[in-house]
């Protein structure tokens, strides 16, 4: 049976920042900007220094009288950003039903717990330690709060060359040679949309696509009609392979019938599961 992996604080924060990027459509101005900043050191330097020119070049418009500061997590600085009350009221994030990124779970809880929010702003390191997240020696944890006047945006630390190469190799689009019973589509590298039936007749092309990936992987199951034991076995195999590489497998938009199967196999304690059917909770960090 697959087992959950305990990640370092840096990895948790890196994934949180990558989730923020994924919450923007790749074709949107901010989506293009953040994806480029992840791979291009010049774009990153511009955002961390004087972002105004870079924002203008990408066509990113902010609400009037709103400033912006880009933050990067590193070995010496770990940044937590709390969403503004206006965005909390607009998005109305729901508590997670299953296992999710612990920083994301903490942020959602703070949306409805003023005392926790105050503690995060005043003593974030203590809160993280109490929640089981160890802070590496020499790392300063800094908490920031978005307001109508100031927007903080996290960008991930630079990716390794092999990760950037993998993102270049996987082209977005549908897998044309997949059997009619299963639909496979890469929304972007690291995000695979699955539809139809995952069973003995379709597991091989499904495996072929999963085996192409050695970066954090989101599998969107929102269009799946049936998931057999062969499909479950493939997911467990993939999780074990990815864990050895230090990568995460996460399920998005899992139908209730598939959730029941995952629960029977006790996989809900292993995989992160998120429901984006009512919108990604990371919209908390989008401008109004």
CATH 3.30.750.24 residue ranges of the chain are 162-252
User: Is residue 163 pLDDT above 90, yes or no?
Assistant: no
211-267 residue pLDDT tens: 999 999 999 999 999 888 899 899 999 989 998 988 989 999 999 988 888 888 888
Q: Is the pLDDT of residue 88 over 90?
A: yes
At 147, is the pLDDT very low, low, confident or very high (cuts 50, 70, 90)?
very high
The answer to whether 122 touches 114, Cβ cutoff 8 Å, is no
pLDDT for position 18: 92
Structure confidence by residue, pLDDT tens digits, 22-75:
899 889 999 999 999 998 999 999 999 999 999 999 999 988 889 999 999 988
Closest CA to 234 of 215, 249, 216: 249
pLDDT tens digits, 171-189: 899 999 999 999 999 999 8
Q: What is the pLDDT of residue 97?
A: 82
Q: What average pLDDT does range 88-103 have in this prediction?
A: 90
**Cβ neighbours of 149 (radius 10 Å):** 10
In which band, very low, low, confident or very high, does the pLDDT at 198 lie, cut at 50, 70 and 90?
A: very high
What kind of fold does domain 162-252 have according to CATH?
A: Transcription Regulator spoIIAA (3.30.750)
pTM of the model: 0.86
Handedness of CA 271, 74, 51, 90 (dihedral sign): positive
In the block, tokens 């897998």 appear at 175
How far apart are alpha carbons 117 and 115 in whole angstroms? 5
């Amino acid at each position: 049976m697959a087992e959950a992996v305990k990640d370092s604080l840096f990895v948790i924060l890196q994934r949180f920042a990558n989730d923020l990027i994924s919450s923007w459509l790749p074709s949107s101005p901010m989506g293009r900007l953040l994806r480029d900043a992840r791979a291009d050191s010049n774009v990153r330097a511009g955002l961390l220094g004087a972002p105004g020119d870079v924002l203008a070049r990408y066509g990113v418009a902010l609400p009037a009288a709103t400033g912006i500061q880009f933050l990067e997590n590193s070995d010496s600085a770990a940044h937590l950003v709390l969403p503004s009350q206006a965005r909390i009221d607009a998005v109305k994030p729901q508590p997670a039903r299953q296992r999710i990124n612990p920083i994301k779970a903490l942020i959602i809880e703070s949306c409805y717990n003023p005392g926790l929010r105050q503690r995060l702003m005043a003593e974030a390191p203590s809160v993280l330690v109490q929640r089981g997240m160890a802070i590496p020696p020499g790392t300063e944890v800094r908490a920031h709060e978005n307001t109508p006047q100031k927007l903080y945006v996290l960008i991930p630390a630079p990716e390794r060359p092999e990760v950037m190469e993998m993102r270049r190799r996987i082209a977005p689009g549908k897998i044309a040679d997949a059997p009619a019973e299963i639909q496979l589509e890469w929304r972007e590298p690291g995000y695979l949309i699955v539809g139809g039936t995952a069973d003995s007749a379709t597991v091989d092309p499904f495996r072929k696509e999963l085996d192409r990936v050695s970066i954090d992987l989101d599998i969107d199951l929102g269009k799946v009609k049936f998931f057999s034991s062969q499909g479950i076995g493939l997911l467990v195999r993939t999780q074990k392979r990815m864990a050895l590489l230090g990568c995460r497998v996460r399920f998005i938009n899992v139908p209730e019938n598939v959730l029941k199967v995952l629960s029977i196999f006790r996989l809900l304690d292993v995989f992160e599961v998120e429901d984006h059917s009512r919108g990604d909770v990371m919209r908390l960090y989008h401008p109004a």
